[in-house]
A and B are shown apart, each in its own frame.
Chain A
Amino acid sequence: EADIYQTPRYLVIGTGKKITLECSQTMGHDKMYWYQQDPGMELHLIHYSYGVNSTEKGDLSSESTVSRIRTEHFPLTLESARPSHTSQYLCASSEFRGGLNEQFFGPGTRLTVL
């Protein structure tokens, strides 16, 4: 399995709380991504980063924010969690291999907002 970690794996929290989902990788990859995945559905890209101090919004609008202060760390923050944020959040990183960026995924954080 790839060396990309996410904590916590499961989080149940009340509405209005601020939360940060952690993602770190030890592979030295420049590119990192956050996806949102509802049960039984496809992954949607919500944020990505091509390196330190670089962050972009993905295709799916999200109220979350991200930061990339260190290469290995790409945390995602929700300032005020709502039930609509209940989902699974997958972090990924990629390296250029064989002519393309191959993405490696973390185990995910399953978030439930009550």
Chain B
Amino acid sequence: AQTVTQSQPEMSVQEAETVTLSCTYDTSESDYYLFWYKQPPSRQMILVIRQEAYKQQNATENRFSVNFQKAAKSFSLKISDSQLGDAAMYFCAYTLTQGGSEKLVFGKGTKLTVNP
């Protein structure tokens, strides 16, 4: 089965500190894309960062970076210098290509609280 596991239902971090959200996945494909999406309360889900599985270099977007371990099928998100606006649900996902169609498979999410 193609699955995404986020083992931390909730996390909290102090403002300006660093937090890491974990994600593991299970896929039989060799080429795929991984994503972290952010869903603030009552607001649209937006893409935070993405990683191509064929690239060994970890993706970075400003304060957001990932630790991609392909062999371990692990894809954690690190948020540095946390800000109040980072509080949201974070979903890990990967693309599944099946029968010519491309779909996203999501984890159950991690609720991040940022304490002032």
Q: Which residues of A contact B (CB under 8 A)?
A: 1-2, 4, 40-45, 48, 50, 56, 58-59, 90, 99-108
Contact = CB atoms under 8 A, between A and B. Distances in A.
Contacts of A58: 103
Nearest to A50: B101
Interface residues of B, number: 23
Contacts of A4: 44
Given A48-B103, A58-B103, A99-B52, A105 B46 contact: yes
B29 interface: no
A40 B50 CA distance: 22
B107 A1 contact: no
A100 B95 contact: yes
Contacts of B75: none
A57 to B, nearest CB: 11
Given A105-B44, A105-B45, A42 B101 contact: no
Interface string B29-44: 0000100010000111
A45 to B, nearest CB: 6
30 contacts: A1-B44, A1-B46, A40-B108, A41-B109, A42-B91, A42-B106, A42-B107, A42-B108, A42-B109, A44-B106, A45-B103, A48-B101, A48-B103, A56-B101, A58-B103, A90-B45, A99-B52, A100-B33, A100-B50, A100-B52, A100-B95, A100-B102, A101-B95, A101-B102, A102-B47, A104-B47, A105-B44, A105-B45, A107-B42, A108-B44
Nearest to B9: A40
A99 to B, nearest CB: 7
Given A1-B46, A42-B109, A48-B101, 16 more contacts: A2-B46, A4-B44, A41-B108, A42-B4, A42-B106, A44-B106, A48-B103, A59-B103, A100-B33, A100-B102, A102-B47, A102-B50, A103-B47, A103-B104, A105-B37, A107-B44
